[in-house]
Structure 1
Amino acid sequence: MVSSFSMPQRILHWIMALLILFNLIFSDAMETYGRVFFGGQTPTPEQVSAANIHAYVGIAVLVLAVVRLCLRFFQGVPPEPEQEPPFLRVVAKIGHWAFYALFFVMPFAGIGAYYFGNKTAAFAHAGPMKLLMWALIVAHIAGALVHHFYWKTDVLKRMTSG
């Protein structure tokens, strides 16, 4: 049985966390591009270049998510701590799989919006999906802190030092 996440799993977790936070926090260039493009105007080369950064980071997240999911299936994951109530174990599983779903759906919606001009994909990507990603991040961090400080489990350690 796996007692901790592997080094590649931990590295991918933190790289993806940084890339996702980057795109969530620094999305102004893509939002500007979207307003201009979907408003029927032609974006400037500077707007396109700035929007490309957001797009490339999102594509990197998608590629890393494929690698991460493969590692999850081949290397496994540690079991849920016994201190965690059964209901919250289910909530945690749903949250983790919701993350994985967003790791794939969000970049594809972004691709649909940016590269194919799909307005519905743009709305979904920048609206409900972005909001759900923020909610999952907050819940994920809160859950890790509850595990560490309240239940005194090794959940945080398993994703940091192993």
Structure 2
Amino acid sequence: MKPQQQLTFSNRYTSIAIGLHWLMAILIISLFAVGLYMHDLPLSPWKLQIYSWHKWAGVTAFLLVMIRLLWRFTHSPPPLPMNMSRTAEVAAHIGHGLLYLLMIAIPLSGWLMSSAKGFQTVYFGIIPIPDLLTKNKELGNALREVHETLNFVLIALVIGHAGAAFKHHFFDKDDVLTRMLPKRKH
């Protein structure tokens, strides 16, 4: 086994990338949990408030992923461990690409669904987000299915992503997990 590499600036993510990563992780897990909770609530003021919060968080997630992508395109990530197989490298790149794709597609599908169902999103109750579609109940229902399915695919990928990070840490003994953790103060 290779000894654990010494962490240096060059093999760590930037503080901005780390912060965006963990903020998105918390937001995605929270959005998923709230989505499951609100799905079968009876129509009430509480349900409407939860839906508003969910939509606000979804818009925020969309904005954050755009910031995250901009950061990612202007700041190279640390290299993958040298002992990773080519297959594992390809899987890592595909997995990350799918995560980004879904972090964009899910809020867009929610926005399209809300538009088709005739429920405009008003960000934080202040900024109206324009509808992308005219009201169409059948399309709204189809988009709800798309939105739900994409969310379950995302959660499966998030679980796989976390599992891979733990595998790297506990079995491969490399720095893949620790370079995405905030720096510890000594």
Q: What is the CA–CA distance in structure 1 between the aligned matches of 2:10 and 2:52, rounded to whole Å?
A: 39
Distance 1:55 1:22, change over 3 A: same
Cα deviation digits, residues 52-81 of structure 1 (max 9, x gap):
111111111100000000000101111111
Aligned partners of 1:28, 1:89: CA distance in 2, in Å? Answer: 33
8 Å contact from structure 1 (residues 83, 153) kept in 2:
no
Check whether the contact 1:29–1:47 (CA below 8 A) recurs between aligned residues: no
Letter in 2 for 1:67: I
1:139 aligns with 2:139: no
Larger Rg: 2
Matching residue of 1:32 = 40
Could you tell me which amino acid in structure 1 is paired with residue 141 of structure 2? K
Unaligned runs of 5+ in 2: 1-8, 118-139
Detail structure 1 runs of 4+ shifted over 3 Å in the superposition.
none
Deviation at 1:93, TM superposition (A): 0.5
Using the size of structure 1 for normalisation, the TM-score is 0.87
> How far apart are 1:28 and its partner, in Å?
3.8
Aligned-residue identity in percent: 27
Instruction: Please identify which structure carries the higher helix content.
Output: 1
Conserved? CA contact 1:112–1:122, under 8 Å: no
Residue 31 (structure 2) aligned to one of 13, 23, 30 = 23
Aligned to 2:22: 14
Structure 1 contact 29–50 (Cα < 8 Å) conserved? no
The count of corresponding residues between Structure 1 and Structure 2 is 153
Question: 2:96 and 2:59 mapped to 1: Cα distance?
Answer: 20
Q: Which amino acid aligns with 1:57?
A: A
**How far apart, in 1, do the equivalents of 2:36 and 2:177 lie?**
32
